[in-house]
């Protein structure tokens, strides 16, 4: 069941982890409310064709299949405001309540809306803010932490996200290669009037994102 929301060390990767509660923090790829002016009428990850086709729901279904049909409870939160204003964002005020959800698994899926990190100062500020965000949402307990790279590969942003993941003992998932495959875009599956919507991952891209995260949590061997 999904509900929308208006230092400790995390656990090491477990071969067959079965979380009961998952917290997703992301941007439009994770969840986007209806926006008629751009031709988007869903309230799920843009631009999947249906809720069950976005990467969040694909992951939840996969976990359910490996837990006797019991789907984890999930909370999906927007991190867009943080992306666009991380330098002055009230991290504790906005994200501390999420620690009360007591997620077993936290998936951070941000970066695409962050302004170009073209200086060391910006890279340092974004890294520090992102690390604080993750420490805040895990305050008082020890969830498994996953940090994914940008769908549209960005070396500077992805390097910062990887470093943050390493510092907090998380699992970094590189999905940047997916953005170089045209078949992963919604525009390859159906027509959209708005180019921005069309440039988001479609059903195939969403499934591929879910696969990358799943495989990182369940390494072969």
Average pLDDT, the chain: 93
- Looking up tokens 């208006």 gives 6
Whether residue 11 is predicted with pLDDT greater than 70 in this model: the reply is no
Question: What is d(CA 104, CA 144) in angstroms, rounded to the nearest whole number?
Answer: 6
The answer to whether position 161 is within a domain reads yes
Query: For residue 123, what are the CA distances in angstroms to 95, 98, 154, 214?
Result: 21, 25, 12, 28
**Res 5 pLDDT > 60:** no
> Which tens digit of pLDDT belongs to each residue from 168-201?
999 999 999 999 999 999 999 999 999 999 999 9
In a domain, 6, yes or no: no
Per-residue model confidence (pLDDT) at position 30: 98
User: Residue 219: its pLDDT value, please?
Assistant: 84
Structural domains in the chain (count): 1
Inside any domain, residue 78 = yes
- Say what percent of the chain tops pLDDT 90: 90
Match 């992963």 to its residue by tokens.
Answer: 184
Assess if residue 186 is contained within a domain: yes
Task: Answer whether residue 3 shows pLDDT above 90.
Answer: no
Burial class (CB in 10 A: 0-12, 13-18, 19+), 120: exposed
117-147: pLDDT as tens digits? 999 999 999 999 999 999 999 999 999 999 9
For residue 201, tell me if it sits in a domain. Answer: yes
pLDDT band of 2, cuts 50, 70, 90? low
Among residues 165, 123, 128, 124, the alpha carbon closest in space to that of 147 is found at 165
Q: Is residue 11 part of a domain?
A: no
pLDDT at 177: 98
Going by the DSSP 8-state scheme, the letter that residue 200 receives in this structure is: S
Residue 12 counted as domain residue: no
SS3 (DSSP) at 172: strand
Domain range spanning residue 184? 20-217
Token readout for 109 is 């899926």
CATH number for position 104 = 3.40.50.1110
**pLDDT digits 0-9 by tens, 33-71:** 999 999 999 999 999 999 999 999 999 999 999 999 999
pLDDT band for position 78 (50/70/90)? very high
């Amino acid at each position: 069941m999904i509900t929308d929301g208006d230092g400790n060390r995390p656990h090491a990767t477990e071969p067959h982890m079965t979380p009961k509660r998952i917290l997703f923090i992301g941007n439009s790829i994770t969840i986007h409310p209806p926006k008629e002016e751009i031709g988007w009428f869903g309230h799920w990850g843009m631009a999947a064709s249906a809720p069950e086709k976005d990467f969040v729901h694909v992951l939840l279904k996969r976990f359910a299949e490996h837990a006797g049909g019991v789907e984890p409870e999930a909370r999906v939160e927007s991190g867009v405001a943080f992306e666009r204003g991380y330098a002055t964002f009230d991290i504790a005020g906005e994200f501390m309540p999420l620690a009360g959800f007591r997620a077993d698994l936290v998936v951070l899926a941000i970066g695409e809306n962050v302004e170009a990190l073209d200086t060391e100062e910006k890279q340092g500020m974004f890294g520090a803010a992102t690390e604080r965000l993750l420490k805040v949402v895990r305050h008082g307990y020890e969830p498994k932490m996953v940090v994914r790279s940008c769908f549209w590969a960005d070396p500077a942003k992805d390097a910062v996200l990887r470093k943050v993941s390493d510092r907090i003992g998380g699992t970094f998932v590189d999905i940047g290669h997916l953005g170089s495959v045209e078949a992963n875009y919604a525009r390859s599956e159906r027509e959209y009037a708005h180019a921005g919507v069309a440039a988001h991952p479609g059903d195939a891209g969403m499934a591929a994102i879910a696969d990358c995260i799943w495989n990182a949590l369940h390494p072969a061997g």
